[in-house]
Structure formats: C-alpha cells, structure tokens
Structure 1
Amino acid sequence: MKTNIEEINSVKKRLTVEIDAADVDKKFAEAYQIVKKNATLPGFRKGKIPQKLVEQYFSDRVQENVTKDLVNETLPKALEETKTYPINTPMIENVTIKKGETFHYTALMEVRPIFELKDYKGLELEKEIVKVTDEEVGRQLEEIRRMNGKLKNMEETYAIQPKDIAILQYEGFENGLPLPEMKADQFMFQMGNNPFPPDFEKGLIGLKAGAQTEIKIDFPKDHPHLAGKNVLFKVKVLEVKTLDLPELNNDFVQTLGADLQDVEGLKARIKEQMIAREEDRTDKELKQRLLNKIAGTVQFDLPESLVESEVEQALENLKRTLTRSGSSMEKSGLHEEHLRSEMRPGSEKRVKNFLILAEIAQKDDIRVEEKDLDESFEQMAKSMNQDPKVVRQFYESQNMVTPFRVRLLEEKTLKYLLENAKIKEVEAAKVTREE
C-alpha cells in the first residue's frame, strides 16, 4: 500500500491510497469464493455454480463488496501512516476497481486547525457585582399576586385601562393578504405583559367590549418571526376584565406552599432566587468575555463540516421551538437559506470557541474523569427527582454520553481559565462589555 497526503488548505486534506494489483486479485478471489458458496441459480445446486457463471451473474455485487472491504481495511492504516486525524467522516472519491489492476482511491477530509495560543492565563476581566434591590423584589411580589389574582368581568361601558385584560379576536394582514400565524378568535391579552409591540397595546386603550379597530404595526428587523413586516391588524374586543389581586399577608403566603410562613420569608426566598439567577447570568457573561478576549488574539481556518453542523443544529432548535409554539417555518414566513446565512456568523463563533477550548484542554491536560460524569449525572438526577443510574442509562441509550462529555470538558476548561484569570468586581454600569 502506498499513500500520499495533499494539503488543500490548513484544515482540508486529500489522502490518496494505492493498493497493489496482487492484493486486489486476492480480495476478488476471496469475495467470489464467498458468493459461490452461498449463491443460487436455477438449474444448479447451492455452491455448485461454475466460476464463469458466478463471474457473469454476480460481478457487480463482488466488485462493490471488494471496493468496500479494501477501503475499510486500508483507510485506517493509511490515516495512521500519514498521521492524519479527521474530524469528519472522510468522503471517498475516484473509486474504480478492476481485477489485475492497481486500485486507487482518494479520501477528502477535514482536520483540526493547528494554531498557537499564548496569553490565555492571567487575563484581566471585570465581573458585575450582583445586587437585587427591594424594588426588584417588590415587582416580583406583584407578579406573584397577579398570577394568583381572580378575573372579574367588567360592564360593557367600561373602557380598557393599563393592566386590564382584554379578550380579543384579531387577524393580521400584509399587503392585503392574511397572515395565518397572526390570527386568533379568543386571545387573552394582558395589558403591560404581552408579546406584541407597544403600538398594539396603545391602540386598545379606551376601547370597550364590542368595539372594533384597525392597528398598523411596523415590526422591528430583529423580530423572530415577522422581521421588517408592516402588518395591519383588524381587532374586535370581545370582553374586558380586571384582575382582583389577593392581599399580600401571611395567610396568602401560606397558600403558596414551599414551606413559606410569612411575607418576610417570601421576600427572602424571592431575593435568594433572584440573586441565583443574576449570578448565573453574570457568570455566563464573564465566560463569554473571557472567550472573546482569547479568540481575539488568534486567527485560523474553521473546518466547514463543523460550521455546517452547528448551523444545522441551530436551525433544528428553531424548528422545534416553532413547533412547540404551534407554528412552523412556512407559517412564520421564514426561509431556510436566509436563516442559514443569518445563523452562520454565530455558528462560526461557537466553532472557534470550541476549538480554542479543546486546544487549551489538550495543552494543559484538562480531562473529564468518570467521577466528573458521575457527579453531573447525580446533579441532573437530583433536579429531576430521578435515580442517577436511570439518567445515565437514558444518555447511553441515546448515544448522548460523548457530546455530554464534550460539554463538561468545555465547562471544566472555562472554570480552569477563570481560576487563572485576574477578576475585578465592579458595579454593573462600569463593566466593559466590548472584550
């Protein structure tokens, strides 16, 4: 066997493999023996078909099997011989095989880029000091009261006010054509807390039950489903309701469960949960600024297969989100090719970060041990009130352990980088975001 590796670019290689004619003929002979032993033809007993007839009737199948066997046997050896380690499944090209002739084939593949990272330890970073004010706790208390409020039907003479709830029938039109995803027969619209642009809500203020109106909305360019569209809504107010809120006292708090006894205990629980969420947010922002800083110091080619895989994953996530909300790409007027183009920059950034973290992990010998996996499955099981063994078995049955291990390695590497960084805590307004 002879091999030759050609560098197309820093991450794409073409491997050429040449197999001697003698080895090809040997493989053909073995393949024909197997076929002859098991094949059947009318007029001949199994295993008794003459060789010429076997070659006449089964040559295509034998040729296909020999090609597949030779590639499967020689490709791993050729990769090892040339010290080539693909990150995707090699694409086999130029496959033509004949008895008595040397067999050539090429394998097109991508490899991890080679790059040098220098200053990734001791980075200076700013972390936002987490603060939760009494005012923020108060707003959350009001939200809890609203969630436990009781709806009260208002008289027909009552006009919609801020914080009221209106039952609407509406339909959206673009250039005179109806938008199927912008239609509802009985939509509960909560003033001050709804997914519509502010102008829609403004158009409802002062209307009474039975009133009809038209509201024009120019959707912003960053809207997930109606970006840049000019929509005319035809709206009818079916009912107007107000929300009677429960009094905030100890009796009300005890109805919430969760071992809560009084208002002060509820406030403390809310503050604790809000601090935890804010700390999670600031940690994620800190990690992103850290990665941005490292990524800004190095440039390298990205393997197209990894970028395409990341784009595909983002697209599938969007489709699942739309399905869960009762919509679809078609209903939302979204075009796959346009979305792929929009998703590409973010996908490239994620792939670059992934490769940087993988390089640091390899360079500094950071690994995910079995105990790391066990601890993660235990934490996951605890949050789901499940047995850790059941959670692990599910991941194994779905072939999800390897991607989960990769994610853990990224988190472990980020933790390592933060432990080796110089972090200064500052007020939120003073955090330098462009890092």
Structure 2
Amino acid sequence: MQVTETLNEGLKRSYHITVPATELDAKVDEKLAEAQPDVEMKGFRKGKVPLALLKKQFGQRLMGEAMQEAVDNAMSQHFEDSGDRPAQQPEVKMANEDWKPGEDVEVDMSYEALPDIPDFDAKSIQLEKMVVTPDEAAVDEALQSLAENAQNFEAKDGAAEDGDQVVIDFKGSIDGEEFEGGAAEDYPLTLGSNSFIPGFEEQLKGVSVGDEKTVEVKFPEEYGAETLAGKDAQFAVTVKEVKAPAAAEVDDELAKKYGAEDLEALKTQIRERLEAEYGNASRAVMKRELLDKLDEQVKFDLPPSLVEAEAKQIAHQLWHEENPEHQGHDHPEIEPTEEHQKLAERRVRLGLLLAEIGRENDIQVTDQEMTQAVMNQARQYPGQERQFFEFVQQNPQMRQQLQAPIFEDKVVDYIFELAEVSEKEVSKEELQKAVEELEDEE
C-alpha cells in the first residue's frame, strides 16, 4: 500500500492512496479461508468446498469488503503515523472510477487537520469574581413577593374592579338553548385573569353584590369544542360576592404555606436561594471574562470549513429570530456577514481550545451527569418523558447537544480552580447590570 501526499497547505491535506491488486486478492483469499470451514455446498462436505470454487462464487462480493477495509486501514495508519486529527469526516473518493478486477485501487483522501494548539497556562489568567451578600432588604423584598403570590381575597363594598374577585353563578345558552359545561355555581373569577372567554370578564367590571347581568360573548373560531366555536352565546350571571385582593401577612402562617417550619426558616431558605442566584449570575460574568481573555491571548490557525459552517449556522439562526413568521426553511439563501464570520471564528477557536484542555486533562462527562441533563430536558415534555428518553438514546446528535454545554462548563470550572481569582464585593444592582451587558453582547 502506498500513500502519497498531494497537498499540504495550512491545515488542508490531500493524499493519494494506492492499494495493490495483489494485496486485495490476498485479503479476499484470507476471508475465504476464514469462512471455508463453515461453508456447505451441494456435492461437498461441510468445510471441504475448494477455495477456487468459493472464490468464483463469492469473490466479487468479498472484493468490495476488502477494498473498504484496505482503505480504512490505510486511513487509520496514516492518522496514527502523522498525528493528524481531521476537523471533520475526511472526503474519500475513487481516483480510478473505471476500476476493474485485477487492477490496483486508487483513492484520493482530503481533509482539514485540527490545528496544533499552543500550551496554555491557566495559572496565568487573572479573573475577578463579583460577590453579592443578600441583605435584609433583599430578603424582605422576596418575602413581600411571596406574600403577594399567596394573596387572599377579602369581601369589599362597592363595585368590582380589575384585579378583584367576583363569586358568581352563571348559565350559558346559545339561541336560547343551554349547552353542556356552560353553567356553574359559586365560581370565583378574578377580573383581568383572562381565564374566561374574551370579553366575559370585562363586562363584569362595575358589578356589585346582588346584581344580575346578561353577558354576551362570541366563542373564538379556534375554540376547542367544535359545537361552540365561533358561536354567539349569552350568560345569565348572578353576582354573589365581590372581594378585593389582600396580600398575605408575612408571618409563620405564610412560611408554612411555602413548606417552611416558621418565618425564620423561610428567611433562611430565601437567603440560600438568593446566594445561589447571585452565585450563578457572578459565574456567568466571570465565564465571559475568561472566554474573552482566552480569545484574545490564545491564537492558532482555524479549519476554514468549521468556521464557514459555524458562520452559516449563526446567520441562519439570527435570520429566524428576526423573522419569526418563517417557521420552515423555504426562504432565500442567507449569506453570513463579516460580523457573523468574526463571531464564528471566536466560537470555533474557543471550542477547539476548551476541547483540547479537556482532552489533555481527561475531563469527561459522566453517565450520571448525562442522565440528569436528559431528565432536565425531558421535563419540558410532560407526559412524554419516556418518548424523549428513547429519542435521545437513538439520536447521537441530540446526545452531543446535551453533552457539549456540560463538558464546556466542566473545563471552565477546571480553569477557574487554577486561575488567580480575586473577589470584589458589589451591590445587587451592579451584578444585574453586568448580567444585562452580557445579554446585550450575545
């Protein structure tokens, strides 16, 4: 077998591989010899069929397998000898497409090699970690929010306003005929909640206890019940109570509603939650700072095909975000801009660098971490969790999409441990501003 280099330009590589006909014949004979003991053929005892007869009957089919194995072996040996790692699947095609049995096989192989990535000293990186300590004001603000969410409704005098709750009896009819599911008694309806048919709640603003009112509405055309969709309906409504919203008291009873033993225990839970929220936000800011420094300090050649593919993906994604009415891909071809190209170069550079750091330090995503990631994603499909698990198991690309961010975060955490990190006490507002700036840059 002969491998001849035909191109070595930057990261682009091309090779001409020649597999001698004698080598292919030897492979075919080897395969036939391995199979001979198990072959049965009319007129011969098992295992006694002559090789010449086997070759005549099965040789042509085995030749294809031999050719594929020979080329695969040549490629594997080449990558082992050269140390090259292809950025993408190598392109392989027959050079002598009019090949006939008895001739050498000639194949052209081309690929872009992954670049040599410079040594990187994580200890030389200096980072600043923003630290926010939850103060009593933040805890009190969270408590008030919980109290508002746990609001009660208390009886009031006067007319119902937006946000009030009215307790009503109602009966619905279409063309004078009551319909199934159109009646209820003592139903608590919060005005402005948009939980009823459009127009229903608006017509109850201003009602008082004891009022009887006919509410006229039209069911939406896309309403779930086909017998009601698009129909005009009348509801005979009797107002039995009018209640105004009142926030729950911040006390032990409120704490128990949220599963805490008492108010102090609830405050402790809130502080821990705030610390976790601030910590996650601070980590996101520090991660961006790290990636910015890596992008600036570590330079190496990038495989053009990876950059081109990433730029196209960025342009395509942004186009769909700007044109949400186009759900499919029946749109004009989207050409990446210079801005897309620069962003693609950054992403490819950082992706290759983090992958190399992870590879050199044997950083891996565990089965437990992958299972947790799949479970988290599956929660977005209530009732279909099992189908989602099966989909992930059968879809390598989906597994890669779930694995990639976990791997990246583990590599980033590894660098954080080695880097020189200084802490800076900041306010909640300063941290929030830093997070908003991150979102603006994305």
| TM-score, scaled relative to structure 1 | 0.58
Match of 1:131 in 2: 133
Cα distance in 2 between the residues matched to 1:374 and 1:26: 43
Q: Which amino acid in structure 2 is aligned with residue 353 of structure 1?
A: L
What do the CA deviations read for 1:29-69 (whole angstroms, capped 9, x no partner)?
5567899997999xxx99799969957x984x445333322
Verify: 1:4 aligned to 2:7, yes or no: no
Match of 2:420 in 1: 421
Q: Which amino acid in structure 2 is aligned with residue 333 of structure 1?
A: H
Match of 1:26 in 2: 26
Shift of 1:284: 2.3
Cα distance in 2 between the residues matched to 1:51 and 1:15: 37
Change (3 A) 1:50 1:101: closer
Shift of 1:286: 0.5
Change (3 A) 1:123 1:52: closer
Instruction: Find 1:333's aligned residue among 326, 331, 334.
Output: 326
What do the CA deviations read for 1:88-120 (whole angstroms, capped 9, x no partner)?
332322254432222111223333222435675
Give 3-state SS (helix, strand or coil) of 2:137's partner. Answer: helix
Shift of 1:129: 2.3
Match of 1:92 in 2: 92
Q: In 2, are the aligned partners of 1:79 and 1:85 still within 8 Å (CA)? A: yes
Instruction: Find 2:253's aligned residue among 251, 259, 268.
Output: 251
The Cα RMSD (Å) is 5.9
Cα distance in 2 between the residues matched to 1:335 and 1:425: 47
Unaligned runs of at least 5 residues, structure 2: 166-189, 208-214, 218-234, 377-389
Change (3 A) 1:48 1:359: closer
- Percent identical pairs in the alignment equals 18
Change (3 A) 1:168 1:281: same
Match of 2:354 in 1: 357
Match of 1:218 in 2: none
Shift of 1:13: 2.5
Match of 2:150 in 1: 148
Cα distance in 2 between the residues matched to 1:334 and 1:348: 28
Shift of 1:166: 1.8
Give 3-state SS (helix, strand or coil) of 1:265's partner. Answer: helix
Q: In 2, are the aligned partners of 1:86 and 1:110 still within 8 Å (CA)? A: yes
Verify: 1:166 aligned to 2:192, yes or no: yes
1:266-277 correspondence to structure 2 within 5 Å: 266-277=266-277
Q: Which amino acid in structure 1 is aligned with residue 288 of structure 2?
A: Q
Q: Which amino acid in structure 2 is aligned with residue 166 of structure 1?
A: G
Shift of 1:243: 4.4
Q: Which amino acid in structure 2 is aligned with residue 122 of structure 1?
A: S
Q: In 2, are the aligned partners of 1:91 and 1:109 still within 8 Å (CA)? A: yes
Cα distance in 2 between the residues matched to 1:330 and 1:298: 36
Q: In 1, are the aligned partners of 2:79 and 2:85 still within 8 Å (CA)? A: yes
Q: Which amino acid in structure 2 is aligned with residue 19 of structure 1?
A: V
1:101-112 correspondence to structure 2 within 5 Å: 101-112=103-114
Q: In 2, are the aligned partners of 1:360 and 1:413 still within 8 Å (CA)? A: no
Change (3 A) 1:119 1:82: closer
Give 3-state SS (helix, strand or coil) of 2:192's partner. Answer: strand
Verify: 1:72 aligned to 2:72, yes or no: yes
Q: In 2, are the aligned partners of 1:166 and 1:241 still within 8 Å (CA)? A: no
Q: Which amino acid in structure 1 is aligned with residue 418 of structure 2?
A: E
Cα distance in 2 between the residues matched to 1:353 and 1:309: 15
Cα distance in 2 between the residues matched to 1:307 and 1:208: 63
Shift of 1:302: 3.5
Shift of 1:356: 1.8
Give 3-state SS (helix, strand or coil) of 1:288's partner. Answer: helix
Match of 1:15 in 2: 15
Q: In 1, are the aligned partners of 2:21 and 2:103 still within 8 Å (CA)? A: yes
Cα distance in 1 between the residues matched to 2:400 and 2:31: 38
Cα distance in 2 between the residues matched to 1:241 and 1:8: 80
Change (3 A) 1:109 1:186: farther
Cα distance in 2 between the residues matched to 1:13 and 1:168: 63
Match of 1:297 in 2: 297
- Greater CA radius of gyration, 1 or 2? 2
Change (3 A) 1:307 1:4: same
Q: Which amino acid in structure 2 is aligned with residue 367 of structure 1?
A: D
Cα distance in 1 between the residues matched to 2:308 and 2:199: 39
What do the CA deviations read for 1:121-145 (whole angstroms, capped 9, x no partner)?
3333332221334333233223323
Give 3-state SS (helix, strand or coil) of 1:89's partner. Answer: coil
Cα distance in 1 between the residues matched to 2:41 and 2:244: 82
Change (3 A) 1:9 1:265: farther
Match of 2:362 in 1: 367
